Amino acid sequence: MMRLPKFEYRAARSVEEALDWLGAFAPAVDKDPEARAMLMAGGTDVLPNMKHKLFTPKVVIGLRGVASLRGISYDPERGLRIGAGVRLSEVAASPVIRERYPALALAAESVSTPQLRQMGTIGGNLCLDTRCNYYNQSEFWRRAREFCLKKGSDTCRVAPNGTGCYAVSSCDTAPALIAFGATARVAARDGAREVPVAALYDDDGIHPVRLREGEVLTDITLPPLAGDWRSTYEKYRVRGSFDFPIASVAAAARFEGDVCAEARLTLQGVATSPLPLPEAEALLTGQRWTPDLIEAAAEVALRASHPMDNTSGTIALRKRVIRAYTRQALAGLAGNVGAGAA
């Protein structure tokens, strides 16, 4: 049985309290990295990773009691606001999200299991750690094979001659939020800042989320979508009942008649960060989506994806799935389901 290491739990009642506690521990981290305090929302990633001794915080700051992080609201002028502490089950069931931002509802609904969606939050999902077959293992397993660059060694087990960590970006809601042009609001002790969700991620498997030490993600805002917007999320995973994405596609597009006026495509599970596809978006914009055009965009997606051999599924399979799911997603949006062969 894997046990949690010893830690102190502090339940924050406000964002300010969480920020104060994060700040109080920051100086200690210079002397002892294990002394860091870590935020926990639903705990569905933090706690398993602590059991695996991947995270060893001295203090865990719980956000579940912070009322200002809850709530979903929609305003036709300002768009949709989702508190970082909103559970994935609430995102998936929200009538306004299902009606106006269906790709986000589909993405939230596809995360793990009903129990975990009832605990896991959208903020925790956006800040999810990257994953790798050599990293997401018990300490016993990792010690037997030698540790890797991301935890305790100077060598990556996947690309020993590489210069970084290629662990896989695996959070389902990020690609959908990026496709909608969402913005994250982040609080710090010296004020708050807004950052596009697309800019939250770095191409770095060790530090995948660009939050500074001591910051708390508070809200996500999606712009109001006027006109004929359509969107979807297609996810490939090994176990259909629950699993992390290993090749998925979020697509959103606005149509004027049968011509696409704006197109957004973002891949997930095939790189260290979500991958927006500006080349495919440009190809699709201003056009009627014929099967040939959809095929051309699916080829762009295949070329842009660069999965590594560090999660389930082979590299070739995941690339082929990206092409097939991009084709399927676009054909669905164009009302042209079934275009082309897999």
Ligand X SMILES: Cc1cc2nc3c(=O)[nH]c(=O)nc-3n(C[C@H](O)[C@H](O)[C@H](O)COP(=O)(O)OP(=O)(O)OC[C@H]3O[C@@H](n4cnc5c(N)ncnc54)[C@H](O)[C@@H]3O)c2cc1C
d(CA 153, CA 158): 13
Polymer length of the chain: 342
* Closest to ligand X by CB, 84 or 308: 84
Q: How far is C-alpha 45 from the geometric centre of its chain's CA atoms?
A: 12
247 vs 331 by CB, closer to ligand X: 247
Q: Could you say whether residue 42 binds ligand SF4 (CB under 6 A)?
A: no
* Nearest to ligand SF4 of 89, 310 (CB atom): 310
Residues 127-146 that bind ligand X (CB under 6 A): 127-128
**Contact of residue 79 among ligand SF4, ligand X, none (CB under 5-8 Å per partner type):** none
Q: Confirm or reject binding of residue 236 to ligand SF4 (CB under 6 A).
A: no
Using CB under 6 A, which of 25, 55, 134, 325 touches ligand SF4? 134
Task: Count residues near ligand SF4 (CB under 6 A).
Answer: 14
Does position 167 bind ligand SF4 by CB under 6 A? yes
The answer to whether 116 contacts ligand X (rule: CB under 6 A) is: yes
Nearer to ligand X by C-beta: 185 or 303? 185
Does the footprint of ligand X cover residue 204 (CB under 6 A)? no
- Please, which of residues 157-176 interact with ligand X by CB under 6 A? 170-172
Contacted by 158, from ligand SF4, ligand X, none: CB < 5 to 8 Å by type: ligand SF4
35 is a site residue for ligand X (CB under 6 A): no
SS (H, E, C) the chain: CCCCCCCEEEECCCHHHHHHHHHHHHHHHHHCHHHCEEEECCCCCHHHHHHCCCCCCCEEEECCCCHHHCCEEEECCCEEEEECCCEHHHHHHCHHHHHHCHHHHHHHHCCCCHHHHHHCEHHHHHCCCCECCCCCCCHHHHHHHCCECCEECCCCCCCCCCCCCCCECCCCHHHHHHHCCCEEEEEECCEEEEEEHHHHECCCCCCCECCCCCCEEEEEEECCCCCEEEEEEEEECCCCCCCCCCEEEEEEEEEECCEEEEEEEEEECCCCCCEECHHHHHHHCCCECCHHHHHHHHHHHHHHCCCCCCCCCCHHHHHHHHHHHHHHHHHHHCCCCCCCCC
274 binds, among ligand SF4, ligand X, none (CB under 5 to 8 A by kind): none
The footprint of ligand SF4 on residues 295-324 (CB under 6 A) is 310
**Rule CB under 6 A: is residue 269 a binding residue for ligand X?**
no
166 binds, among ligand X, ligand SF4, none (CB under 5 to 8 A by kind): ligand SF4
* Residue ranges in contact with ligand SF4 by CB under 6 A: 132, 134-135, 148-150, 156-158, 165-167, 205, 310
* Residue ranges in contact with ligand X by CB under 6 A: 38-46, 48, 63, 84, 88, 111-112, 116, 119-121, 123-125, 127-128, 170-172, 211, 216-217, 242-244
